[in-house]
Amino acid sequence: MRYIITLLATATPALATAALAEVPKVVSDIPPVHALVAQVMGDLGVPELLLARGADEHDFQLKPSQARAVADADLVVWIGPELTPWLDSALDSRPEGAAALALLDAEGTVRRAYGAAKNAVGHGDEHEQKDHAEAERHEDDHGSEDPHAWLDPGNAQVWLGLIATELGRLDPGNATAYEANAAVARERIAALDAELAALLAPVRDKPLVTFHDAYGYFVGHYGLTIAGSIALGDASSPGAARLSELRGELEAGGVVCIFSEAQHDPALVKQLTEGTAVKIGGELDPVGSSQEPGPGAYAALLTGMARTIADCAGG
């Protein structure tokens, strides 16, 4: 189900004026989205984050208090059902026309499919094609689209403007403040983007293996080289043929680093690299589940990922 930005058209002018006199109650799904909304709101208010620290964004259950917060929110900002299907049903319980912003569907968002980042090793061979097909069958409602769009800072800059516009529509008295906050946040992300591009430039040609195929936006934006991934989707597990093939690629040389991931057991990474020259990098956290929530969480997520990759591949 797709959600577009709408206002409750049935409200009387008096009721609408009363509602707009207060700063909107905003709920967000994951830490990077929460961070972007928090930057736009600034000192005017604090959005609520649904995903608990350390929780899995794909397999999460709302507490009763969180379900009430979604129902009562003036605005819900989320990636979309491709990432957090558990929020989809909660949105269905909201009043018709209640405001929601699905960022993956928003105009100007760059979208990618899983596997869109061309692999340097073994891409397109028989085993990988079979595994991708199996991954797509297990994706269910997710389909084959990669929802990790926040890992492209260009998308974050687009979203800041959209968030500011919608908050301004709900709260016109503070519209100028929201726009100003968004402008400052865009400048900060642009500066961070330049720093990370410089940090990653020396390792762009170093083949890397990630735990699962969730980094297409990041590696595509910064021109990194992905040799492959252990799992090929969020809801799929690697088969024996895939693991055997990947082990052969690691033994053959060429791959520089392999990375474990938050919410996943690193034992498989150690097993695959045992006896090879491939370095094990730090843990990657694409959704920022280990970050302290707040306006600085988005920059911390991208910075941590970039430094983890640079430290391993450039060392």
Total domains in the chain come to: 2
Report yes or no on 256 lying in a domain. yes
* pTM score, whole prediction: 0.84
Same domain as 131, residue 27: no
Cβ-based burial of 242 (10 A; exposed 0-12, middle 13-18, buried ≥19)? buried
Boundary residue ending a domain (157, 192, 227) = 192
Give the phi and the psi of residue 259 in degrees, each rounded to 5: -125, 135
Is there a single domain that holds both residue 170 and residue 219? no
Displacement of CA 161 from its chain's centroid (Å): 18
Q: Does the pLDDT at position 278 exceed 70?
A: yes
Examine the domain organization and report whether 168 and 239 are in the same domain: no
**What tens digit of pLDDT does each residue of 292-302 get?**
999 999 999 99
Instruction: Tell me if 3 is assigned to some domain.
Output: no
Look up the domain containing 97 and give its range: 13-110+149-192
- DSSP letter (8 states) at residue 261: B
In a domain, 57, yes or no: yes
Strands (E), the chain: 26-28, 48-49, 75-78, 99-102, 112-113, 145-146, 208-212, 226-231, 257-258, 279-280
Same domain, 100 and 62: yes
- Is residue 249 situated within a structural domain? yes
**260 falls within a domain:** yes
Mean pLDDT calculated for residue range 157-164: 98
pLDDT in tens, 202-223: 999 999 999 988 899 999 999 9
Rounded to whole angstroms, how far apart are CA atoms 74 and 238?
41
**Residue 246 in domain:** yes
Same domain assignment for residues 158 and 279? no
pLDDT tens column, 92-111: 888 888 899 999 999 999 99
pLDDT reading at 289 higher than 70: yes
Q: Is 4 inside a domain boundary? A: no
CATH number for the domain harbouring residue 22: 3.40.50.1980
| Residue 120 and residue 89 in one domain | no
Residues 25 and 120 in one domain: no
170 in the same domain as 272: no
pLDDT reading at 59 higher than 50 = yes
Same domain, 43 and 137: no
pLDDT above 70: percentage of residues in the chain: 82
Q: Can you name the residues that pair with 76 across neighbouring β-strands? A: 27, 100
Contact 6, 101 (CB under 8 A): no
Q: What is the pLDDT of residues 74-94, one digit of tens each?
A: 999 999 999 998 898 899 888
- Is there a single domain that holds both residue 139 and residue 223? yes
Centroid of chain to Cα 117: 16
Pairing of strands 112-113, 145-146: antiparallel
Q: Is residue 262 part of a domain?
A: yes
- Alpha-carbon span 107 to 28, nearest angstrom: 19
Residue pLDDT, tens place only, 243-266: 888 888 899 888 999 999 987 888
Q: Is the pLDDT of residue 130 over 50?
A: no
Mean pLDDT over the full length of the chain = 84
Q: Is the pLDDT of residue 114 over 50?
A: yes
pLDDT in the model for residue 119? 45
Q: Which tops the pLDDT comparison, 290 or 115? A: 290
